[in-house]
Structure 1
Amino acid sequence: MDQSFLIMLSNLLHLQNQLDPTTSLLSDSSSASSSSSSPSSLLTSTSAAPLLFFTIASVLSFISTSRKPRPRSPSSPSPPPSPQFSVAAFRALSTERIWAMEPHLRDSQWRSLYGLSYPVFTTVVEKLKPYIAQSNLSLPSDYAVAMVLSRLSLGLSAKTVANRYSLEPYLVSKITNMVTRLLSTKLYPEFIKIPAGRRRLHETTASFAELTALPNICGAIDNTHVRLHSLPSNLRNSNIYKNSHGFHSVQLQVVSDHKKIFWDVCVKAPGGVDDITHFRDSLLYNRLVSGDIVWEKVVNVKGHAVRPYIVGDWCYPLLSFLLTPFSWNRTGNPAQNTFDEGLMKGRKVVEEAIGLLKGRWRILQDMNVGLSHAPQTIVACCVLHNLCQIAREPEPEVWKEPEESGAVPRLLESEKSYYYFGESLRQVLADDLYQRLSSR
């Protein structure tokens, strides 16, 4: 029995004895004959009845107040978030404790949670805050961005994040879609730009020349598959999303500069479409073919005017603005093999950029968002990747891509003039490079 109940009962009995002393003699008179009892004595003994009722009422009141609480019904509101992921804990970490830490420890902790350092995180929040404010979101802007970044960085599902933050999964999906849409639209023009300006173009071509010994390279192009966690029921039996590696995916085409910063991103094709079709459907291809992109920098090589060009592997067609290797297994002459070695050094930059992208934003290793929101999520991760590269964030472990294979793409009739010019240009660059290296 509860100790506080015993104390209360003892006090009540003590009070009864003080108010009605005759009750203390009841035990002593129990041996007396019942015939000796008088009406007056019975009246005296019944004077304790009100106190007895008071005692019983007190006992019942104590029992009712000491009951265990009833279990929460399913319709009751969800419990507050766990302290580790609550808004209050986030506020304390980001406004008080964070600045008391050593910078390297602070940024390391922030990267482990959200994929980037605290200063870069605040940059993202400040750029998105005006747009998030217009949505009348019930959560603080920085808390919503942090929640989405943790999902992108750690590759978490909406259900896992919902359990962690004590929110409904539909709300986590809604916030994820909003933040990734803002990243892929509002921040894209600022952080993914073609190097058309004189200063940036000269810096890019000079850095590629130092790396490859080839003049006027302005970028490297490649394609990668982003695995889909699941497909809608009406598409599960279709092969349109199944790629050559045997899993369902959507395609991401990127062009990278020497700093592994993407200056063009395209997500248009399902995994079952080949790389060259995806390339020809891209806005970049159409702008290059139409002459919409004009690079002013021109280099003279053996009497040939060489404008800036991008480099790719043998899965792409040889064009005047896109140079590819002579062969994939070094079967050319010495000049051609030397050119291929230099070109593949430049192309390696984009391979590493893709590996960093998937290593830093692990949701791209297994895309667990709805198919309709996959493209904007992929582009949002590319924007965040560029932010990290510009800020010189530490590079994570590179994600290893499966080996690519495929035949040389068929040339279109409309591409033949670009092919012949590219073929001539490639040979001139190969002869010039071999001559320069041989004379050293």
Structure 2
Amino acid sequence: MDQSSFLLMLSNLLHLQNHLDPTSSLFSDTTPSSGSPTSILSSCSAAPLLFFTIASVLSYVASSRPSSSSSSSSASPSDHPLSSFRALSTELIWSMDPPVRDAQWRSSYGLSYPVFTTVVDKLKPHIALSNLSLPSDYAVAMVLSRLSHGLSANTLARRHNLDPYLVSKITNMVTRLLATKLYPEFIKIPVSRRRLLDTTQAFDQLTSLPNLCGAIDTTAIKLRRLPSDLTDASSYQSRHGFPAIQLQVVADHKKIFWDVCVKAPGSVDDATHFRDCILYSRLMSGDVVWDKVVNVRGHSVRPYIVGDWCFPLLSFLLTPFSGDGRGNPAHNAFDAALMKGRSVVVEAIGLLKGRWKILQNLNVGLNHASQTIVACCVLHNLCQIAREPEPSLWKEPEESGSPPRVLESERSLYYYGENLRQTLADDLHQRLSSR
């Protein structure tokens, strides 16, 4: 009932009441000078009581019904999605079998309930500082559902009866916190003695290459659209034919990222992106200290990472001899072993995009793209550490490209890397031949 209809009905009731009992008009200025409430009540006819009863009911109905003229964009958040979430998270969660519960949470939010609560607990103090009108766990759940299903802000806004701007604002806040507050805790270079030993031993078992501690690769994150006023839009066009931003990661044997860099637009090649990242600067300057050295044929071999032929060959980054398998037996054996090590980062990227589908077609603003990508990498590590079930791998486009040229500043490290690669290839070939 709208306001005008309610007022008309109220007026009709007033006239009806006065017609039934004109001596007890509601607008009369005279009131009994004395008497108890009981006597006053008994002195009046039933008409005023009937009127007050009906009017009270109509008033309650009218006030509890939202105005039809109010726009959906200015409406307050719907209680229904929040109530459903709260019922699941607080009332039903402990009555469900853990496998069923966690399967339902993975379907909705990309991770199990225990991992979800870990994320909420770590972000809650920071979200509290923002004076957000929604509960922290509900806000995190909304963002995780967007990241895991690749939903747009408009789609999520319709589901939760929120303004799309508010959904974007919450997404930006949560992804920024993941990319800044949780990054140092969950994305770390393996410099501690124990972790470095575990990593190199695991890679040794996988590849038979000693002191290997990580694999590097780059992937293009497709952008759904670019800003219309972007002056250098062509620089975002990737070699795969779509606008993108480059993500570079280094992964260990558990497919956990220990370095993440998102800096370059899609047209930039892997070597240029690598040379522009902080990890390259730290490795070049010797800032990263890996306290583990092994002796191979009289050569001191420090920990190193491996990549494909699109990366520069350096003392700390070894690449294949060739990409076509036409080398000598020692070179081919080394290349096969290196590609086994590199497979962990390929699978890690496939898991990343398979679990957080928003990275298959990124639908956030360009200025928030990097933090969204890094946030998904943090969540990926959380899932890998918790040994969450691995989803179907996202299939990457085929790699292509030629070896990059050697920079003058890299020349000595290139020659050292070339000598190290040959030493490891000869050693591996001899060990394989003697079996």
Question: Is the Cα–Cα contact under 8 Å of residues 82 and 164 in structure 1 kept in the other structure?
Answer: no
- Corresponding residue for residue 333 of structure 1: 328
- Corresponding residue for residue 307 of structure 1: 302
Question: Aligned partners of 2:251, 2:422: CA distance in 1, in Å?
Answer: 24
Q: 1:232 and 2:227 equivalent?
A: yes
Match 2:313 to one of 300, 314, 318 = 318
| SS, match of residue 240 in structure 1 | helix
Provide the identity percentage. 72
* Distance apart, 1:274 and its partner CA: 1.0
Match 2:69 to one of 63, 66, 73 = 73
- Corresponding residue for residue 261 of structure 1: 256
TM-aligned CA distance change 1:300 to 1:237, over 3 Å: closer
Question: Aligned partners of 2:294, 2:125: CA distance in 1, in Å?
Answer: 45
| SS, match of residue 330 in structure 1 | coil
Q: Which amino acid aligns with 2:69?
A: S
* Distance apart, 1:81 and its partner CA: 2.6
- Corresponding residue for residue 9 of structure 1: none
Question: Aligned partners of 2:203, 2:382: CA distance in 1, in Å?
Answer: 21
| Per-residue Cα deviation, 1:329-370 (whole angstroms, up to 9, x for no partner) | 111100010000000000000000000000000000010000
- Corresponding residue for residue 379 of structure 1: 374
Question: Is the Cα–Cα contact under 8 Å of residues 162 and 172 in structure 1 kept in the other structure?
Answer: yes
TM-aligned CA distance change 1:320 to 1:237, over 3 Å: closer
| SS, match of residue 234 in structure 1 | coil
Match 1:106 to one of 101, 126, 134 = 101
Match 1:290 to one of 271, 285, 289 = 285
- Corresponding residue for residue 5 of structure 1: none
Question: Aligned partners of 1:177, 1:410: CA distance in 2, in Å?
Answer: 39
TM-aligned CA distance change 1:72 to 1:236, over 3 Å: farther
* Distance apart, 1:78 and its partner CA: 2.6
| Per-residue Cα deviation, 1:374-411 (whole angstroms, up to 9, x for no partner) | 00000000000000000000000000000010111111
- Corresponding residue for residue 153 of structure 1: 148
Question: Is the Cα–Cα contact under 8 Å of residues 195 and 201 in structure 1 kept in the other structure?
Answer: yes
- Corresponding residue for residue 174 of structure 1: 169
Question: Is the Cα–Cα contact under 8 Å of residues 154 and 164 in structure 2 kept in the other structure?
Answer: yes
Question: Is the Cα–Cα contact under 8 Å of residues 359 and 373 in structure 2 kept in the other structure?
Answer: yes
* Distance apart, 1:235 and its partner CA: 2.4
Under a length normalisation based on structure 1, what TM-score does the superposition of the two structures give? 0.83
Number of matched pairs = 380
Question: Is the Cα–Cα contact under 8 Å of residues 216 and 248 in structure 2 kept in the other structure?
Answer: yes
| Per-residue Cα deviation, 1:16-63 (whole angstroms, up to 9, x for no partner) | 9xxxxxxxxxxxxxxxxxxxxxxxxxxxxxxxxxxxxx9xxx9xx99x
Question: Aligned partners of 2:79, 2:395: CA distance in 1, in Å?
Answer: 36
Question: Is the Cα–Cα contact under 8 Å of residues 221 and 254 in structure 1 kept in the other structure?
Answer: yes
| Per-residue Cα deviation, 1:136-181 (whole angstroms, up to 9, x for no partner) | 1111100000000000001000000000000000000000000000
Q: Which amino acid aligns with 1:96?
A: E
* Distance apart, 1:297 and its partner CA: 0.3
Q: Which amino acid aligns with 1:419?
A: Y
| Per-residue Cα deviation, 1:230-278 (whole angstroms, up to 9, x for no partner) | 1110228731100111100000000000000000000000001111110
| Per-residue Cα deviation, 1:161-205 (whole angstroms, up to 9, x for no partner) | 000000000000000000000000000000000000000000000
Under a length normalisation based on structure 2, what TM-score does the superposition of the two structures give? 0.84
Q: Which amino acid aligns with 1:81?
A: S
Q: Which runs of 5+ in 1 are unaligned?
A: 1-11, 17-53
Question: Aligned partners of 2:279, 2:66: CA distance in 1, in Å?
Answer: 64
Q: 1:193 and 2:188 equivalent?
A: yes
Question: Is the Cα–Cα contact under 8 Å of residues 76 and 162 in structure 2 kept in the other structure?
Answer: no
Q: Which runs of 5+ in 2 are unaligned?
A: 1-15, 21-46
